Amino acid sequence: MLLKEGAAADATFTASTGKYVVATATSPAAIVKAPTGSYKVSAFAFKDHDDNAETPKVFVAVDVAYFTVTDTQVKPIVSEIKTRIFDKTVSGAAITKDSTDDTLVAIVNDCLKFTLNGTEIKAADVVKVDAFGNASEFNIQKVVIREYIDGAYIDHEITVGLTVSKKK
Question: Tell me: the pLDDT tens digits for 80-118?
Answer: 999 999 998 877 667 777 677 788 889 999 999 999 988
Q: What is the pLDDT of residue 164?
A: 94
> Chain-wide mean pLDDT for the chain?
82
Asked if 94 and 125 sit in the same domain, the reply is: yes
Kindly give the parts of the chain with pLDDT less than 50: 1-8
Q: What is the pLDDT of residue 104?
A: 87
The C-alpha atoms of residue 130 and residue 87 are separated, in whole angstroms, by 19
Residue where one domain finishes, among candidates 69, 102, 121 = 69
Asked if 153 and 106 sit in the same domain, the reply is: yes
Asked if 140 and 81 sit in the same domain, the reply is: yes
Please count the structural domains in the chain: 2
Asked if 58 and 110 sit in the same domain, the reply is: no
Asked if 98 and 40 sit in the same domain, the reply is: no
Q: What is the pLDDT of residue 5?
A: 47
Q: What is the pLDDT of residue 117?
A: 86
The C-alpha atoms of residue 65 and residue 138 are separated, in whole angstroms, by 49
Cβ neighbour number for residue 40 with a 10 Å cutoff: 13
The C-alpha atoms of residue 49 and residue 53 are separated, in whole angstroms, by 10
pTM for the full model? 0.66
Asked if 54 and 116 sit in the same domain, the reply is: no
Asked if 47 and 122 sit in the same domain, the reply is: no
Number of H helices, E strands in the chain: 1, 15
Domain that residue 44 falls in = 2-69
Distance, CA of 166 to chain centre: 31
Asked if 65 and 82 sit in the same domain, the reply is: no
Q: What is the pLDDT of residue 44?
A: 87
Residue where one domain finishes, among candidates 69, 93, 123 = 69
**Spatial contact of 43 and 13, defined as CB atoms under 8 Å apart:** no
Asked if 54 and 105 sit in the same domain, the reply is: no
